[in-house]
A and B are shown apart, each in its own frame.
Chain A
């Protein structure tokens, strides 16, 4: 039972390159989220997926796209990376069958865009 896994752990990109961050969960949770954490700031929501087949924008969606591939997987894509997207990215999951549940976070992906 791995919980929430993210790949890669660390990535260096050049400006303009593209990449996809992967997130997978084995908790059978309905909802999945992508956050970014910049130095000195709290996490900010990029996109979320309330349930399989649905996605919606969060607070800072510009420059990103997402895919909810199935119930387990939720990927985040940077089509043309910019230095402003240098950050630590967290995936999280939540089961909305139980409103007392909180979100469970992956270990994060550190992204550096040069």
Chain B
């Protein structure tokens, strides 16, 4: 079984500043993936960034980067140069990395962090 915990219900940041959202996880899988999803007020789920657990290098996507600490089971999201359009709920999620694993592609989500970017 997998569990994902986001301990920050709400965060706020000024436009153009940097903010870090925290996530910890637990899994019995040896191969797994981690994700950050963004959910704006429209409720659409949008993939922000993903990390393969077997890769030591932290994933980056433009202004978004992660700090993946495998031993500590920590997966934080850093948003640089925050923009008003970044205002949303952010979910951390994990899934099994291979078919045949007990989690078989099923995403396990954290509770979410509401991020507000102020002008």
Spell out A's residues near B (CB within 8 Å).
31, 33, 35, 40-45, 48, 50, 58, 88, 90, 92, 94, 96, 99-100, 102-103, 105, 107-108
Contact = CB atoms under 8 A, between A and B. Distances in A.
A96 B99 contact: yes
B91 A50 contact: no
B12 to A, nearest CB: 18
B45 A31 contact: no
Interface in B52-106: 52, 91, 93, 97-99, 104-106
Most central of B43, B45, B98, B104 by chain A CB within 10 Å: B45
B105 A96 contact: yes
A38 to B, nearest CB: 10
Contacts of B105: 31, 33, 48, 50, 94, 96, 103
Interface of B: 4, 33, 35, 42-45, 47, 50, 52, 91, 93, 97-99, 104-112
15 contacts: A33-B105, A33-B106, A41-B111, A42-B109, A43-B45, A43-B109, A45-B108, A88-B43, A90-B45, A92-B107, A99-B97, A102-B50, A105-B44, A105-B45, A107-B43
Chain B contact residues, majority secondary structure: loop
Most central of A33, A35, A88, A105 by chain B CB within 10 Å: A105
A48 B107 CA distance: 11
A42 B91 contact: yes
Contacts of B45: 43, 90, 92, 105
Q: Which 7 A-B pairs give the minimum distances between C-beta atoms?
A: A42-B109, A105-B45, A43-B109, A108-B43, A102-B47, A45-B106, A42-B111
